[in-house]
Amino acid sequence: MRAPVTTAVAIAIGLIILLGYFVPVPPLQAIRVILLGWSVTLAGVLLLIGVLNLIGVYWRRFMRGKPADYYSPYLIAAFLITLAAGLWLGPGSSQFQRVVSAIQAPIEASLLGVLAISLSIASLRLLRTRKNLMMIVFTFSVALFLLMGSGFLSGLSESIPLFDSLLAALNRLPLAGIRGILLGVALGSLVTGLRILLGVDRPYSG
């Protein structure tokens, strides 16, 4: 076994944190809180290192002087302004959160709009090459939910009986799909955690 000490420490820490959730022993729960605090701190440091690495990459692109690289200085300036405002006002400031939300919400909405159009075009292109049942269902679902989200069908609820109930039932289908995806992610995380606890997978040993 490569790196047996690292494997033993990782398995022991994982078992301590897992037992701290189910066994009501105060010393065990105190150790679990300390270990989780360390992990959160390390995750924050890793995130900061990743952000600094990203800024370094864009700074090197900017210093090379490529004429097509227009966005690197804007990204660096936006990062520095946001960092300075967050350090000055604090992340809990209502003014800082309002400004960030006013910038982030339109960007997320535009990205979701582009994603919806891209999925629609991709489904139409795939339907030309792969005319099977699943592609037809996918294309019909994309067209239906785009039509429902546009608001054009809201006026038909007054003239057609039980139309509101049908729309409500159709709107629950994406929620069921999201719950299925989350359930699959949870089961995959559980299996991955068990494999690490049993020593089958050792991503920490390099």
Res 62: pLDDT: 72
Residue 89 and residue 95 in contact, taking contact as beta carbons nearer than 8 Å: yes
List helix spans (H) across the chain.
4-22, 26-64, 72-89, 94-129, 133-150, 163-197
Q: Encoding tokens for residue 133?
A: 């049942």
Residue 107 predicted with pLDDT over 60: yes
Mean pLDDT of 7-28: 80
Higher pLDDT, 157 or 117: 117
Residue 196 and residue 202 in contact, taking contact as beta carbons nearer than 8 Å: yes
Task: Spell out the residues 6+ positions from residue 28 whose beta carbon is closer than 8 angstroms to its own.
Answer: 16, 19, 20
Task: Spell out the residues 6+ positions from residue 86 whose beta carbon is closer than 8 angstroms to its own.
Answer: 96
Query: pLDDT-derived band of residue 163, with 50, 70 and 90 as boundaries?
Result: low
Residue 204 predicted with pLDDT over 70: no
**pLDDT, tens only, 35-78:** 888 888 988 888 889 888 888 887 777 777 665 567 777 777 88
pTM of the model: 0.53
- Kindly report which listed range (30-34, 73-77, 139-143, 156-160) carries the lowest average pLDDT score: 156-160
Domain boundaries, the chain: 1-89
